[in-house]
């Protein structure tokens, strides 16, 4: 499920506070603060930190950090224990597939070029 839809579905329920507590607990773990400076991953962990420190999901949606994670996917296993997973959402998967397709097509063209050159050399001999 996309994070924006998930946040909309739990807004105003008891799961809202569980999620806020889980993200706050995650941001307080050792070594997480080192990730804030990393590209892409840093934006995600910073947004989760801000989410945990927010009074509510509605407050979090007013921040610029919401835009950084709203298109990601989320799977929630057990909010009581803080078990949830964040992964690339459909928007990101499309981008990854496009890049992989372009790289694959480029490699295929290089291989075809190599085969054509090899075939040409055999004709001359």
- Percent of the chain scored above 90 by pLDDT? 14
Residue 50 has pLDDT above 70, yes or no: yes
Model confidence over 81-101: pLDDT tens digits? 778 888 888 888 899 999 999
Helices (DSSP H) in the chain: which residue ranges? 3-10, 14-27, 41-53, 57-61, 65-69, 90-124
* Contact by Cβ (8 Å): 11, 60: no
Model confidence over 60-82: pLDDT tens digits? 898 898 888 888 888 888 877 77
Write out the two tokens for 11: 């807004």
* Contact by Cβ (8 Å): 8, 32: no
- Percent of the chain scored above 70 by pLDDT? 96
Confidence at residue 102, expressed as pLDDT on a 0 to 100 scale: 96
Confidence at residue 96, expressed as pLDDT on a 0 to 100 scale: 92
Residue 110 has pLDDT above 80, yes or no: yes
Half-sphere exposure of 97 (CA within 13 A, CB side): 7
Confidence at residue 27, expressed as pLDDT on a 0 to 100 scale: 80
Confidence at residue 101, expressed as pLDDT on a 0 to 100 scale: 95
Residue 125 has pLDDT above 60, yes or no: no
């Amino acid at each position: 499920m996309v994070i924006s839809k998930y946040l909309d579905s739990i807004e105003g329920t008891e799961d809202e506070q569980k999620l806020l507590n889980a993200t706050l607990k995650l941001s307080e773990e050792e070594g997480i603060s080192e990730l804030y400076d990393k590209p892409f991953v840093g934006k995600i962990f910073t947004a989760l930190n801000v989410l945990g420190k927010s009074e509510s999901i509605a407050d979090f949606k007013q921040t610029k950090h919401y835009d950084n994670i709203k298109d990601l996917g989320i799977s929630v296993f057990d909010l009581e224990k803080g078990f949830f997973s964040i992964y690339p959402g459909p928007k990101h998967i499309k981008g990854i597939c496009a890049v992989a397709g372009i790289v694959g097509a480029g490699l295929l063209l290089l291989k075809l070029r190599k085969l054509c050159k090899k075939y040409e050399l055999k004709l001359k001999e």
